[in-house]
Every structure is written in C-alpha cells, then in structure tokens.
C-alpha cells in the first residue's frame, strides 16, 4: 500500500504505467476501486492510497467500491451480512 501524499505526481504516473499501481483507495473510508472511477477521482489527495492488486486492498481491510466494482461490492455486501 502506497500513500499518495508521500509520492510525487511523476512517481505516481510512472508506477501506473509500469503496472505497480492498479487500484486506488480511500484511507478514511476503507474503500478501494479502479483508478478510472469518478468517485475515486473526487477524493482528497491526503486520503488516497494505492494498491497493486485487489488482494492487497482486501488484506488491508478495504472493501470494493459500489460504483466501479459493482459485482465485487455485491459479493462483499452479501457475504458480510
């Protein structure tokens, strides 16, 4: 898990291009999603974290985004209740 405030913009772009970053998350809400998600693009930089895989996000206690990962979110929602 990488914190956005600790990275420069050029470092983030490089990590995305190389595939080291594939998902973004909100550290306060504990939600992860695709980098292209409109909900994720609106979050504050201070709250943004990056993951290399869905498994990494889940291991850190994050849940899927209900907008961009709808199927995974539905599975998570009904598996926890």
Judge residue 32's burial from the number of C-beta atoms within 10 Å of its C-beta, 0-12 exposed, 13-18 middle, 19 or more buried. Answer: buried
Q: In order along the chain (81 residues), what is the average pLDDT of each group of 10 residues?
A: 96 96 97 95 95 97 96 91 65
pLDDT at 81: 65
Measure CA 32 to chain center: 3
pLDDT at 80: 67
C-alpha dihedral over 28, 25, 68, 76, to 10 degrees? -70
Domains and CATH numbers, the chain: 2-80 (3.40.10)
């Amino acid at each position: 898990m990488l914190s956005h405030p600790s990275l420069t913009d050029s470092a983030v772009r490089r990590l995305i291009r190389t595939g080291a970053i594939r998902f973004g998350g909100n550290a306060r809400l504990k939600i992860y999603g695709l980098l292209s998600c409109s909900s994720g693009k609106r979050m504050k930089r201070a709250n943004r974290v990056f993951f290399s895989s869905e498994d990494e996000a889940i291991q850190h206690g994050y849940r899927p985004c209900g907008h961009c990962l709808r199927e995974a979110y539905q599975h998570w929602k009904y598996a926890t209740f």
